[in-house]
Amino acid sequence: MAKKKTKFVCGSCGYESPKWMGKCPGCGEWNQMVEETEITGTPKRTFMHSDTATVSKPSRLVDVETVQEPRVETDLREFNRVLGGGVVPGSLVLIGGDPGIGKSTLLLQVSSQLSSNGSNVLYISGEESVKQTKMRASRMGINNESLYIYSETNLQLIHSAIDQMKPSFVIIDSIQTIYHPEVTSAPGSVSQVRECTAELMRIAKINGIAIFIVGHVTKEGSIAGPRLLEHMVDTVLYFEGERHHTYRILRAVKNRFGSTNEMGIFEMKEIGLEEVANPSEIFLEERTQGTSGSTVVASMEGTRPVLVEIQALISPTVFGNPRRMATGMDHNRVTLIMAVLEKRVGLLLQNQDAYLKVAGGVKLDEPAIDLAIAVSIASSFRDEPTGATDCLIGEVGLTGEVRRVSRIEQRVNEAAKLGFTRLVIPANNLGGWSPPAGVEIVGVSTVNEALKTIFGK
């Protein structure tokens, strides 16, 4: 006879334990163990349509013939760039984001564009009815004959619909609502998410169908469910942005078919998402000139240079320990640069609160922004504004030196397009390329030289 057995599964890593524990031994997270009921004594479950599986043999690498499959491009060039050039047939793509950020809108828009060339697209919604999805599609002006809508959460029925229809693309919205009837736990649990994703991966690889699945994001910012989910899929995309602002950022966290440094920027409008061709103008359009603590840096997001404003506010502290707060950049990087300014430049910052922010909501994590951070801190501390047409690029070392950065020519050309006339860059980046006309290039070797160039003292 079948017996019910209770077990506790970690919602972060999938670790299983017969008893509840406050701290997971697998990943070290606290309060992640969730109780699940498992039925034992039944025959081992087999996956659906397992009779279609073929037995393969090991092959020598030199004997394997490869066929270059063309990627399927959409009308959203930003979306194509983040994916690495387009949608790869047979891939499984996971898109995560906060509730209400626009994940369903993006995928419905992409579904319409993919179906416009005659390809059958199956949009499966587990959170909305067919009529609700139709209302949203009508608001966006979507009405394609090759786009099919299916409201279902049973994975067996979804698999049968895919076998009958044989679509080229499938969208699952969302994976937390889909359940496998042979798994006893509730939809959205660790076991259900893991089994359903594994079955969808098998469907995608065998039939050559590109499948997009939506994953909810927890309050910590990670995709709900075990981290194993991110390891199983081919590509993991995060849709970021503030719900009260119109701009959205699509970023690749994992991509087996392209770079993970690419970033796509969209603007949310009533009829859907519209791509932003020049994000540098968006990040700099509200910059206040003549104010201290503001600098501009040319950062690389994948293969594209983006100009972003870095703001700093330095004020005397009223606490025993000064506060250090950073938004859009690494907090440890700010602390390190402030220590360099105090030791190598002589700025007394140990009794000052520091608040730094990257304007526009973008996150920067490359070392080329170090010099701009240092100059913005010094500008706010001295209450002296930087030049309105100055742009700073460079990495700062612990000895106060300014180190070379990559792709300096692309950064300089992007700054010149937006009207910046003076660029302060590392001295080691001066040779081997020609700057654009009308732009003054100043090479510096230390932070002291950079501050003298910007402030004249």
- Residues 180-194 as b/e (b if ≥16 CB within 10 A, e otherwise) read beebbbebbbbbbbb
Q: Give the number of residues written for the chain.
A: 457
Among 268, 248, 256, 262, CA closest to 93? 256
- Residue 203 counted as an annotated binding residue: no
Q: What is the DSSP annotation of 43-59?
A: PPP--TTGGG-------
Q: Is 97 annotated as a binding residue?
A: yes
What are the distances in angstroms from CA 172 to CA 253, 372, 447? 20, 43, 51
* Selection from 279, 266, 296 nearest residue 412 by Cα: 296
CA distances from 299 to 146, 225, 305, 309, 394 (A): 41, 33, 6, 10, 10
Consult the annotation and say whether 222 binds a ligand. Answer: no
Q: What is the DSSP string of 291-346?
A: -TTEEEEEEEETTEEEEEEEEEEEEE--SSS--EEEESS-HHHHHHHHHHIIIII-
Residue type at position 116: S
Among the listed residues 299, 234, 284, the one whose alpha carbon sits nearest the alpha carbon of residue 389: 284
Whole-angstrom CA distances from 320 to 128, 342, 351, 449 are 53, 18, 9, 33
Q: Cα separation of 429 and 312, whole Å? A: 26
CA–CA–CA angle 294, 300, 302 (5° rounding): 150
| Residue 360 annotated as lining a ligand binding site | no
> What is the rounded CA–CA span in Å between residue 327 and residue 54?
52
Question: Is the separation of the CB atoms in 36 and 69 below 8 Å?
Answer: no
Tokens coding 323: 């506060």
Binding residue per annotation — 215?
A: no
Asked if residues 391 and 284 have their Cβ atoms less than 8 Å apart, the reply is: no
397 in a labelled binding site: no
Query: Is 98 one of the annotated binding-site residues?
Result: yes
Q: How far apart are alpha carbons 227 and 215 in whole angstroms?
A: 12
**Distance separating alpha carbons of residues 294 and 331, to the nearest angstrom:** 18
Per the annotation, does 258 bind a ligand? no
**What one-letter code names the amino acid at 227?**
R
- DSSP H or E segment with residue 32: none
Which residues are known binding-site members? Answer: 97-104
Binding residues for ATP: 97-104
